[in-house]
Amino acid sequence: MLVRETIKKLAAEAGFDLCGVAACRPLADNERRFRGWLAAGCQASLGYMERNVAKRFDPRLLVEGARTAVVCAVSYKNRAGDGYLSGHRARIASYACTRDYHTTIREMLQRLFDGLKALDPQLRGRLFVDTAPLAEKQLAVEAGLGWIGRQSLLVTPGLGSYVLLGELLLCDEADSYDAPLEGAGCGTCRNCIDSCPAGAVGTSRMIDAGRCISCRTIEREPAGEAELHGWVFGCDECQSCCPYNRKAPLHANRAFDPLFDPAAMTPAEWLALDEEEFIRRFAATPLSRSGLQRIRRNVLKNEKQLP
């Protein structure tokens, strides 16, 4: 049997700031809301969201024999998360200023998993870092880490929403499980709704991906033209305005130190980069996902949209 406190101790040693443990079970209410989101067409160009819906909301269908979900979170907050000067026209989401979190968190999860298997060599399970149909934010709620904010992101009491998640689905029961937080939440605050320049944040804790600037600058582009408001990769508008993020400390895990300062780079500097220089400077960051040509295209869109 898994020991909850041992899991949390090993998670901290692996570099995570938060860890919660939840029983694997169907998340029927969340699946119903998600299917409503799909029916409304809010997924826009994100066609992959339509696949494996049942697995997304029942971890036992994703990993046969899964009984326990270990949900880990680590802060990545850096200075870019506080926002940019109003005239900056080459904005980068703050998470993209560091080494690609998929790589870093996978390494951290593997250390945690190895530690657990050292205690029980027969332990079976699988680790996840935002690469499979898993309702990780809701699992984080189940594990007591926070709640879903109006901008649809996980908000934690001490670290805000500038956190990245990783999960272990394990084929053993724990001696005890965490409970969802009570008494915490967004209250009457609607900063994220009012601050989104694209109007993508709805009132029901759902995002319209067709409007979302992050989707438009990174994912397959939705139909139609839309203003990018200075962003060229991702968007932090619904986070930098959040009271929980304003009071959250900067990240403690040095693996999430920024590799460059996006506020110091002008549109002209991005346009002047060649592929070799881009790879040398940014290959280890999430920017490699979209590539230089996509970033250049977004920079040019912003230049054309200057008032």
What would the pLDDT profile of 50-71 be if each residue is shown by its tens digit?
Answer: 999 999 999 999 999 999 999 9
Residue in 82, 114, 130, 236 annotated catalytic: 130
According to the model, what pLDDT value does residue 11 have? Answer: 98
- How far apart are alpha carbons 194 and 45 in whole angstroms? 24
In a domain, 86, yes or no: no
According to the model, what pLDDT value does residue 55 have? Answer: 95
According to the model, what pLDDT value does residue 147 have? Answer: 97
Q: What is the pTM of this model?
A: 0.95
Residue 119 has pLDDT above 70, yes or no: yes
Say yes or no: 152 and 195 in one domain: no
According to the model, what pLDDT value does residue 18 have? Answer: 98
Encoding tokens for residue 160? 């805000």
Total number of domains in the chain: 2
Assess contact for 265 and 277: CB atoms under 8 A: no
Encoding tokens for residue 136? 């990780």
According to the model, what pLDDT value does residue 223 have? Answer: 74
Encoding tokens for residue 26? 């169907």
Is 130 annotated in the active site?
A: yes
Residue 131 has pLDDT above 70, yes or no: yes
Helix (H, G, I), strand (E, B) or coil at 242: coil
Query: Which residues form the domain of 43?
Result: 4-77+93-170
CA dihedral 193, 194, 200, 203 (to 10 degrees): 40
According to the model, what pLDDT value does residue 183 have? Answer: 83
β-strands 91-92, 231-233 pairing: parallel
Q: pLDDT band for position 307 (50/70/90)?
A: low
Say yes or no: 160 and 272 in one domain: no
Say yes or no: 54 and 162 in one domain: yes
CATH number at residue 16: 3.40.109
Say yes or no: 42 and 151 in one domain: yes
Say yes or no: 210 and 266 in one domain: yes
What would the pLDDT profile of 194-244 be if each residue is shown by its tens digit?
Answer: 999 999 999 889 999 999 999 999 998 877 789 999 999 999 999 999 999
Say yes or no: 112 and 218 in one domain: no
Say yes or no: 195 and 165 in one domain: no
Residues β-bridged to residue 201: 207
In a domain, 266, yes or no: yes
In a domain, 284, yes or no: yes
What would the pLDDT profile of 235-278 be if each residue is shown by its tens digit?
Answer: 999 999 999 999 999 999 999 999 999 999 999 999 999 999 99
Cα 191 to Cα 17, 87, 186, 272, distances in angstroms: 26, 21, 10, 36
Q: What angle do CA 245, 108, 58 make, to 5 degrees?
A: 80
